[in-house]
Chain A
């Protein structure tokens, strides 16, 4: 478990960059935290760390946004998929949407509001939890495997 503290958007973004170093191809990273905690902003940092140059925008409406890395920061990484299950009401919708097709060895999947489709997720997932400490500070905990050598 790695623990970080953030005092604002910029720091959360930089923690995202650090967390990206803990990821390998095929990973599914669950992002947990209330509305306004900074999940999408953390995802921006993680994506930049993985070599994505496009602007990362919220996937709430689209449910899944796909990005192709322009920089080869991680060998074999073909795409990063940023999900948000906020709008999913029933777990079977996850299956109906064909979302499990996205999990594969050449991609990294980041999932906001994963709680909505718990039973459909891979058993081996890494996880980041963002908690409010007062109104402005955030505690960001990452659990999963160790950083690569």
Chain B
């Protein structure tokens, strides 16, 4: 079965073609904006999705070396996100499905992230513990089986990726803050500054990153600009170490308490090198198997949406053409 995937829930317009769960093409708009907008990257705009969606889908079909008549079904992100942005993808998906007389299915963005791991790890089977960390989400989900999930912890305030971006901005680290902070931190001493580890002893699996952002701000206010510049890599490394330690400790203890043997980390922040290495060191030492998708599949993409759609379509599920977008919904 060939499934066309469409994703427009946040900044990226994305499309792909999967054949029986294997990637034939996987296109994100940041690769195409030069062609469409002449070099200016417009962020955060439903109208940008409007301008891009046809080119992105067309590119995905071309790269897959098929014609649009070769598509058997369409999977589209329809929740959660800004309704204006989501509707661009949903309406385009419905129109194309109507024209081609094929089924369409609406997919939850986070359920998509949870499936990104299967794109390259075909032997992996549930159950496993999934840590989803991105700019907008931080949650621990027990992936019991396809379609059967239990959220066991989540952030009570800021997402982990937001803490990275905001701290990077305070430190004067240029966009994209998270990945650049990661690079700078590699030369630093992670024990140089003692930042707090909020919620580490909370007795549950929830996270809180808002207080860390404030702790870094208070720390920086007590330093001169020269001291900050001189110790930039130490500050970045110490902050990153604190975040990694919170994520790894909570995740490992959740896996222990649920008696799960495999830990999967997905979402954009799963690309962070220290989170990867600390998770691998700690969890592997304790006998867990740890799986990270490649960074390109960790960030927002359509392949994860199409994979999740394919799994649901195989079970006989589909949406009807009244499919619409929802701003917020838990898995």
Contact at B158–A60, with CB atoms within 8 Å?
yes
Q: B45: CB under 8 A from chain A?
A: yes
Contact at B213–A65, with CB atoms within 8 Å?
no
Contact at A97–B46, with CB atoms within 8 Å?
yes
A interface residues (Cβ-Cβ under 8 A, vs B): 9, 34-36, 40-41, 55, 57-58, 60-67, 87-89, 93, 96-98, 101, 135
Across the interface, which residues of A come within 8 angstroms of B213, CB to CB? 35-36
Q: B314: CB under 8 A from chain A?
A: no
CB proximity of B136 to chain A, nearest CB, Å: 3
Contact at B162–A58, with CB atoms within 8 Å?
yes
29 contacts across the A-B interface (CB closer than 8 A): A34-B217, A36-B214, A36-B217, A40-B210, A41-B210, A55-B156, A57-B159, A58-B159, A58-B210, A60-B158, A61-B10, A61-B134, A61-B159, A61-B162, A62-B81, A63-B82, A65-B328, A67-B328, A87-B43, A87-B44, A89-B44, A96-B44, A96-B45, A96-B46, A96-B48, A98-B46, A98-B82, A98-B84, A135-B218
Known: A67-B328, A98-B84. 5 other contacts (CB 8 A): A34-B217, A35-B170, A36-B213, A58-B159, A93-B45
The CA of A97 and the CA of B45, in the complex, are separated in Å by: 5
CB proximity of B218 to chain A, nearest CB, Å: 6
The CA of A88 and the CA of B136, in the complex, are separated in Å by: 15
| CB-based closest 10 A-B pairs | A61-B136, A36-B214, A98-B84, A96-B45, A61-B135, A58-B158, A96-B47, A36-B217, A66-B327, A60-B162
Q: B85: CB under 8 A from chain A?
A: yes
Across the interface, which residues of B come within 8 angstroms of A93, CB to CB? 43-45
Contact at B136–A62, with CB atoms within 8 Å?
yes
The CA of A60 and the CA of B134, in the complex, are separated in Å by: 12
CB proximity of B305 to chain A, nearest CB, Å: 17
Contact at A58–B328, with CB atoms within 8 Å?
no
Q: B101: CB under 8 A from chain A?
A: no
Contact at B81–A57, with CB atoms within 8 Å?
no
Known pairs A36-B214, A41-B210, A60-B162; A89 contacts B155 (CB<8 A): no
B213-236 vs A, CB cutoff 8 Å, 1 = contact: the mask equals: 110011001000000000000000
B interface residues (Cβ-Cβ under 8 A, vs A): 10, 43-48, 80-85, 134-136, 154-159, 161-162, 166, 170, 210-211, 213-214, 217-218, 221, 327-328
CB proximity of B159 to chain A, nearest CB, Å: 6
CB proximity of A135 to chain B, nearest CB, Å: 6
Contact at B210–A62, with CB atoms within 8 Å?
no
Residue of A at shortest CB range from B47?
A96
Across the interface, which residues of B come within 8 angstroms of A61, CB to CB? 10, 134-136, 159, 161-162
Instruction: Select which of A57, A64, A97, A135 is within 8 A of B157 by beta carbon.
Output: A57
Residue of B at shortest CB range from A67?
B328
Q: Specify which of B80, B156, B162 lies most central, judged by the most chain A CB atoms within 10 Å of its CB.
A: B162
The CA of A127 and the CA of B161, in the complex, are separated in Å by: 29
Contact at B327–A65, with CB atoms within 8 Å?
yes
Q: Specify which of A36, A93, A101 lies most central, judged by the most chain B CB atoms within 10 Å of its CB.
A: A36
Across the interface, which residues of B come within 8 angstroms of A36, CB to CB? 210, 213-214, 217-218
Contact at A66–B328, with CB atoms within 8 Å?
yes
The CA of A147 and the CA of B159, in the complex, are separated in Å by: 34
Across the interface, which residues of A come within 8 angstroms of B161, CB to CB? 61
Across the interface, which residues of B come within 8 angstroms of A101, CB to CB? 84
The CA of A97 and the CA of B47, in the complex, are separated in Å by: 7
Contact at A41–B157, with CB atoms within 8 Å?
yes
CB proximity of A98 to chain B, nearest CB, Å: 4
The CA of A97 and the CA of B81, in the complex, are separated in Å by: 12
The CA of A6 and the CA of B211, in the complex, are separated in Å by: 16
The CA of A66 and the CA of B329, in the complex, are separated in Å by: 10
The CA of A67 and the CA of B218, in the complex, are separated in Å by: 32
The CA of A115 and the CA of B21, in the complex, are separated in Å by: 45
CB proximity of B43 to chain A, nearest CB, Å: 7
The CA of A7 and the CA of B217, in the complex, are separated in Å by: 17
Known pairs A35-B213, A63-B82, A64-B82; A57 contacts B44 (CB<8 A): no
Contact at A97–B84, with CB atoms within 8 Å?
yes
Across the interface, which residues of A come within 8 angstroms of B157, CB to CB? 40-41, 57-58
CB proximity of B331 to chain A, nearest CB, Å: 14
The CA of A67 and the CA of B81, in the complex, are separated in Å by: 13
Residue of B at shortest CB range from A58?
B158
Across the interface, which residues of B come within 8 angstroms of A35, CB to CB? 166, 170, 213-214, 217
Residue of B at shortest CB range from A86?
B166
The CA of A58 and the CA of B214, in the complex, are separated in Å by: 14
